[in-house]
Amino acid sequence: MRSFSLIDFVSLFAALRWTVALVVLALLFGAPLALGLALGRISRFASLRWAMAACIQVIQSVPLLGLLFFFYFGMPVFLGIQVPALVAVTVAYTLYTAAFLGEIWRGGLEAVKQAQWEAGACLGLSAWQQFRHIIAPQALRLSLPPTVGFLVQLIKGTSLASILGFVELARAGQVVSAATFQPLLTYALVAAIYFALCLPLTLWSRSLEARLDGSR
Amino acid sequence: MALVEIRDVRKTFGKVEVLKGVSLDVEEGEIVTIIGRSGSGKSTLLRCINALESVDSGEIWVEGQKVHAKMSDLKKFRQRVGIVFQAFNLFPHLKVERNITLAPLLTGRIEKAKARALAEDVLTRVGLADKIDAWPEQLSGGQQQRVAIARCLAMAPHLMLFDEVTSALDPELVGEVLKVMEAMAEQGMTMILVTHEMGFARNVADRIVFMHQGRVWEQGPPAKLFANPETPELASFIASAK
């Protein structure tokens, strides 16, 4: 046993990079997929809408822990495919992000009145131009608070990657706490770091909301 | 050849046949006003003319081109046919200038350097030059509708469709919108309007078309139609509109 020292501090902050890396990976692959799912959900083709809804339903129904287990421990057993841990967590967090963001963004897109699409079409704009310049900016503003809310969830959700051996913030907390026998101090510090990570996001979201809402 | 030719158009929504064989010609420069009770098919007919609705049978020709939702140059076609809606449908996240210049810029009709001048020009024509930097929701209903008209004018359309454009306005704001439309009429714009404004129909239109139960029931010059309606349906409609 040793006392809590600078080295513990450093190891907590060093572990933070995994937390950040997992969030970045999840967004990098998950956000484009989420956009695809959202567009599929509002498509005029019923079969596509159903397929996307089914995907989202399945992913949302499985606990994040279950997704992680499946891609790391389950796939080798069921499909005979063993992937590195990093690939497994990236896929799991990507699907998780895509399903939840996709549904949030679909809600935002559908909240913009149908007449806005029509007004764009009547001015000779293509469907993509209508989406890009008329619908998406309005949907973005509407979706911003729940999107940032999900981001905060995601940041905290990365702690589950520790079960596959990733020494991210929560896991580093365990290690430090075991080494120093100072669980209260250690976990308070871990909590403070999570808080410091999430608070600016919330504040940024608020200011962005105000800025996008230029007319009010 | 007429600018707009409508030949025996039928349209059904679910089980309701809204248009039961409508035929109508509109000449270039003509101002045609469609009147009739709610549900008589007026707005549907208007929406068919720029392919917002597809027809079940019959044909619509505009400038010698057959109109349908899958026409290859639908976007180009829509640039030539402007439509103004009852609910204005301005883009709330864009200022007035951008509302007007968005489509001309995206469709390559004008260059960026000339965009503001175009917005100024069309806003002047609807009497709102001073509102170029305003947000839509800072404007009254009448002003929003005039911006919507200016937004159409910016595409230099050959034909303008007006779908009950004054119905959502407070009574004291109706006049300013009608005045803009009158000025457009004087400048020779071909216009088809669906309206409940009988005074405007009487004074500005070249021809009144009375629709009833999905058909063109009676049509003719306003003076004749209002003074001597041939059918009892039109007579009772005129009486009720007074």
pLDDT tens-digit map of B96-152: 999 999 999 999 889 999 999 999 999 999 999 999 999 999 999 999 999 999 999
pLDDT at A85: 87
Asked if A124 lies within 8 A of B91 by C-beta distance, the reply is no
Q: Is B236 part of the contact surface with chain A (CB cutoff 8 Å)?
A: no
pLDDT at B159: 94
Ranges of H-type helices in B50-170: 74-80, 96-106, 115-125, 141-153
* Chain A residues in contact with B85 (beta carbon < 8 A): 115, 118-119
Q: Is A119 part of the contact surface with chain B (CB cutoff 8 Å)?
A: yes
Structure tokens at B68: 């349908």
B198, B242 contact by CB (below 8 A): yes
Q: Is A208 part of the contact surface with chain B (CB cutoff 8 Å)?
A: no
CA-CA distance, B210 to B202, in Å (whole number)?
Answer: 13
Chain segment B60-93, per-residue pLDDT in tens: 999 988 988 788 888 889 999 999 999 999 999 9
* Chain B residues in contact with A138 (beta carbon < 8 A): 91-93
Which residues, including other chains, have CB under 8 Å from residue A59's CB and lie 6 or more apart? Answer: A67, A95, A96, A98, A99
Residue tagged 């990365």 (tokens) = A158
Q: Is B107 part of the contact surface with chain A (CB cutoff 8 Å)?
A: yes
Give the closest residue to B90 by CA, choosing from B155, B170, B145. B145
Chain segment B159-203, per-residue pLDDT in tens: 999 999 888 888 888 888 888 898 888 888 999 999 888 888 888
Which of A118, A122, A132 to mutate against chain B (most B CBs within 10 Å)? A122
Mean pLDDT by runs of 10 across the 216 residues of chain A is 76 85 94 94 91 92 92 87 88 95 94 93 92 92 90 90 85 85 87 89 84 61
Give the closest residue to B198 by CA, choosing from B223, B217, B169. B223
Distance of CA A60 to the CA centre of its chain: 12
Going by DSSP bridges, is the β-strand pair B57-62/B65-66 parallel, antiparallel, or unpaired? Answer: antiparallel
This model of the complex carries an ipTM of 0.89
Q: Is B157 part of the contact surface with chain A (CB cutoff 8 Å)?
A: no
State the pTM of this model: 0.84
Q: Is B222 part of the contact surface with chain A (CB cutoff 8 Å)?
A: no
Asked if B50 lies within 8 A of A122 by C-beta distance, the reply is yes
- Could you write out the DSSP letters of every residue in chain A? -----HHHHHHHHHHHHHHHHHHHHHHHHHHHHHHHHHHHHT-S-HHHHHHHHHHHHHHHHS-HHHHHHIIIIIHHHHT-----HHHHHHHHHHHHHHHHHHHHHHHHHHHS-HHHHHHHHHTT--HHHHIIIIIHHHHHHHHHHHHHHHHHHHHHHGGGGGGGT---HHHHHHHHHHHHT-HHHHHHHHHHHHHHHHHHHHHHHHHHHHHH-TT-
Structure tokens at A44: 């005029």
A53, A40 contact by CB (below 8 A): no
A191-to-A12, A15, A170, A185, A196 alpha-carbon distances in Å: 11, 14, 9, 10, 9
The chain A residue lying nearest B156, using CA atoms, is A123
pLDDT at A214: 53
Q: Is B238 part of the contact surface with chain A (CB cutoff 8 Å)?
A: no
Quick one: B121 exposed, middle or buried, by C-beta within 10 A (0-12, 13-18, 19+)?
middle
CA-CA distance, B10 to B57, in Å (whole number)?
Answer: 5
pLDDT band at B22 (very low <50, low <70, confident <90, very high): very high
pLDDT at A128: 92
Q: Which amino acid is at A44?
A: R
pLDDT at B93: 92
B82, B49 contact by CB (below 8 A): no
Torsion over CA of B152, B156, B160 and B162, rounded to 10 degrees? 10
CA atoms within 13 A on the CB side of B39: 3
Rg of chain A (C-alpha set): 21
Asked if A121 lies within 8 A of B52 by C-beta distance, the reply is yes
- Provide φ and ψ at B216, rounded to 5°: -80, 110
CA-CA distance, A85 to A181, in Å (whole number)?
Answer: 29
Q: Is A114 part of the contact surface with chain B (CB cutoff 8 Å)?
A: no
Asked if A215 lies within 8 A of B151 by C-beta distance, the reply is no
Helix (H) or strand (E) holding B234: helix B232-241
Asked if A115 lies within 8 A of B82 by C-beta distance, the reply is no
In angstroms, the separation between the Cα of residue B92 and the nearest Cα of chain A is 8
Q: Which amino acid is at B59?
A: E
Q: Is B188 part of the contact surface with chain A (CB cutoff 8 Å)?
A: no
